[in-house]
Amino acid sequence: MNAQNIIIINGNEFSFDTGETILQIANRNHIDIPTLCHLKSATPTGSCRICVVEVEGARALVASCAAPATNNMVVRTESPQVIEARKMLIELLLSSGNHNCSIRGSDGDDWTQFQLKVQMEDGSSELCPVWGDCRLQDLAYRYQVSGEKFSATETTYPMETVNPFIVRDFSRCINCGRCVQACNEIQVNHAINFGYRGSKAKIIAAGDRPLKDSDCIFCGECVQACPVGALVEKEARYNVRPWETKQVRTTCSYCGVGCQLYLHVRENQVVKVTGVENVVPNSGSLCVKGRFGFDFINSLERLKTPLIKTNGTFRDATWKEAIDLVASRFKEIKNEHGPDSIGVLTSARITNEENYIAQKFARAVLKTNNIDHCARL
């Protein structure tokens, strides 16, 4: 780090590298600057302006996500001017579409009545499907914005529900562009982009077709990036509330990459999957199988104990009984027909370490090189 570069944020001095933005420096030094459109590892756009800060000598407030720091720059992140600007921006966003999170028209001083209203409306179209898991809602609470200053504007675009995994609710879209960046810069699928202009602007697939008829591969990166309720998992919509679930971190079982994910568990049932942010190897990204292919976990037909076929019928067995049977049959086949009469096929759904053990077992124990790997699951 170049010690000659100094920035002063809220009265404290910090060193920085040339090219770093104000937001990057603030985040690294645990200074909270709220964001809405900013997406890590993507090109900053500053479109939502929520991250504005006051820079001494600047004629207007500056979007910290896109503004590179300069030596001896003086920044204030929570000045009265900054707070008022953020409040106005949040008011405008709450009025742009159907953000019915019950904060509109609510009295911030009467928390009990607000809670009762939410409880009565939950599970219906009267309340947003991502209530309690919405970045815009969090900001409205933080800055005590009710959203009543401006009349709500309606959208002319119908909800898109024909896709197999994702519901697109254009009435809740704030055109922040996070989904576009997630698709084009993070996953590099280029399935969606901005379309039309002015009040008609919306996020579209090629030809303004439904996602199912586009180049979308349904990785769900856009859903995880969406800060509001415009993009929601179809099975989780109005079915999953964050306070009802427990997050269990695990490793995806579909291939050997080792993607880290959270299982959202309710009553011992997995109801949703999200990627773990800011960890290797996937940094929150998942494929369509990792994000949406979890039905097998809750399947009633899932095997929970070893099965041994006796007289043409499978019966439950202990692990010791099953392993002893397999070992004895391996010995019989090897002694009677030789080691090359046995082949080992491993799976893409186990880890690299387990695949390594399997090939060592084949070569060192069974004495055969007949081992292959199926990566086509």
Give the integer Cα–Cα distance in Å for 92 and 47.
13
Q: What pLDDT shows up at residue 115? A: 58
Determine the 3-state secondary structure of 251 from DSSP. Answer: strand
Which range, of 7-16, 143-152, 165-174, averages the lowest pLDDT?
Answer: 143-152
If pLDDT is split at 50, 70 and 90, which confidence band does 111 have? low
Chosen CATH of 245-298 out of 2.60.34.10, 3.60.20.10, 2.20.25.90, 3.40.50.2300: 2.20.25.90
Q: What pLDDT shows up at residue 155? A: 80
Determine the 3-state secondary structure of 47 from DSSP. Answer: coil
Query: Is residue 151 within 8 Å of residue 97, measured between CB atoms?
Result: no
- Residues of the chain with pLDDT > 70, as a percent, come to 91
DSSP symbol at 155: P
The string of pLDDT tens digits covering residues 44-95 is 988 999 999 999 999 999 999 999 999 999 999 999 999 999 999 999 998 8
Q: Answer yes or no: is pLDDT of 162 > 60.
A: yes
137: left (phi over 0), alpha (psi -120 to 50) or beta: alpha
CA distances to 95, 109, 172, 211 from 163, in Å: 27, 41, 18, 6
Give the integer Cα–Cα distance in Å for 347 and 256.
9
**Tokens 């027909």, residue located:** 337
Give the integer Cα–Cα distance in Å for 201 and 36.
18
Identify the architecture of domain 166-233 in CATH.
2-Layer Sandwich (3.30)
Token pair in block for residue 236: 């989780």
The string of pLDDT tens digits covering residues 237-265 is 988 888 899 999 999 988 878 899 999 99
Q: Answer yes or no: is pLDDT of 371 > 60.
A: yes
- The phi, psi pair for 3, rounded to 5°, reads -70, -15
Determine the 3-state secondary structure of 231 from DSSP. Answer: strand
Indicate the residue type of 133. D
What would the CATH number be for the domain defined by 6-78? 3.10.20.740
Determine the 3-state secondary structure of 112 from DSSP. Answer: helix
Q: Answer yes or no: is pLDDT of 101 > 80.
A: no
Find the helix or strand (DSSP H, E) in which 330 lies: helix 319-337
The string of pLDDT tens digits covering residues 335-349 is 999 999 999 998 877
Q: What pLDDT shows up at residue 109? A: 59
**Domain positions in the chain:** 6-78, 88-142, 166-233, 245-298, 307-374
Cis preceding linkage at 227, omega within 30 = no
| Average pLDDT of span 2-17 | 90
Identify the architecture of domain 307-374 in CATH.
3-Layer(aba) Sandwich (3.40)
**Tokens 């989904």, residue located:** 179
Query: Is residue 377 within 8 Å of residue 348, measured between CB atoms?
Result: yes
Question: Computed from CA positions of residues 165, 252, 350, 328, in that sequence, does the dihedral angle turn out positive or negative?
Answer: negative
Token pair in block for residue 346: 């491993």
